[in-house]
Amino acid sequence: MTITILGLGPGNPRHLTRQAWDLLSGADEVYLRTARHPTVAALPTYLLLHSFDELYESVDDFSAVYETIAERIVALGERPEGVLYAVPGHPLVGESSVQRILALARQQGLTVRLVEGLSFVEPVLSRLEIDTLDGLQLADATDLAVAHHPPLDPDRPALIGQLYGQRLASEVKLTLMNGYPDDHRVTLVRAAGTGAGEVRELPLYELDRGQEIDH
């Protein structure tokens, strides 16, 4: 009875770790937080894939989605064969469902094995040629969206992840404009770590005006 949580990397199948690939190659089935990830198409064809994408379409509150996913994964983890759960990037970088799984598993005495994956952070650092230890701040767009003032030092660079849609971008923009000038230059990085990666510089007030902001 084990829950194995595996990181699929940022999107390019070549970024899968050897450990992750060996586990996927030896599995019969895998549960995916989302199938909307480029690496999924490169998984072994004999794998039985299950995804939780339908939950995102039926529930507006992402917290409820992640709670439901966690409950299902923990229930599956109680089977003799356990469960293999795969998430984009690294399991502990911006993956709320993983934190809920860890908490529930501790309560029920289940073993959780984490299989690291490259997160979105590393490809972004490569594209922008910046060093994360040189004062880089990390923030979640969903947290910034509900804040009044950004909890960021404007004299240091900040990397904001999970900016998955235009409505969220609008809310994040308004929060950031309470701490930064409207025309502050920001860099929008899309699909980092994939062949479709894009980088565009723009003023903060235009953050939500483009069509390229998506999952």
pLDDT of residue 61: 79
**Span 132-165, pLDDT tens digits:** 999 999 999 999 999 999 999 999 999 999 998 9
DSSP annotation of 14: G
**If residue 86 lies in a helix (H) or strand (E), which one and from where to where?**
strand 83-87
Each residue of 2-36: pLDDT tens digit? 999 999 999 999 999 999 999 999 999 999 999 99
Q: What does the pLDDT look like over 74-108, one tens digit per residue?
A: 999 999 999 999 999 999 999 999 999 999 999 99
Number of H helices, E strands in the chain: 7, 9
DSSP 8-state secondary structure symbol assigned to residue 30: E
Q: Is the pTM of this model over 0.85?
A: yes
The 3-state DSSP class for residue 154 equals: coil
Question: Tell me, what's the pLDDT at 58?
Answer: 80
The CA–CA distances, whole Å, from 125 to 5, 120, 130 equal: 25, 9, 5
Q: What is the pLDDT, as a whole number, of residue 194?
A: 84
The helix (H) or strand (E) run that includes residue 141 is helix 141-145
Lowest-confidence pick of 40-49, 70-79, 176-185, 195-204: 195-204
Indicate whether 210 pLDDT > 90.
Answer: no
Q: What is the mean pLDDT of residues 34-63?
A: 91
Alpha helix stretches (DSSP H) within 28-95: 53-58, 62-77
Instruction: From 113, 121, 94, 101, select the one nearest 6 (Cα to Cα).
Output: 113
- Per-residue model confidence as pLDDT tens digits over 173-186: 999 999 999 999 99
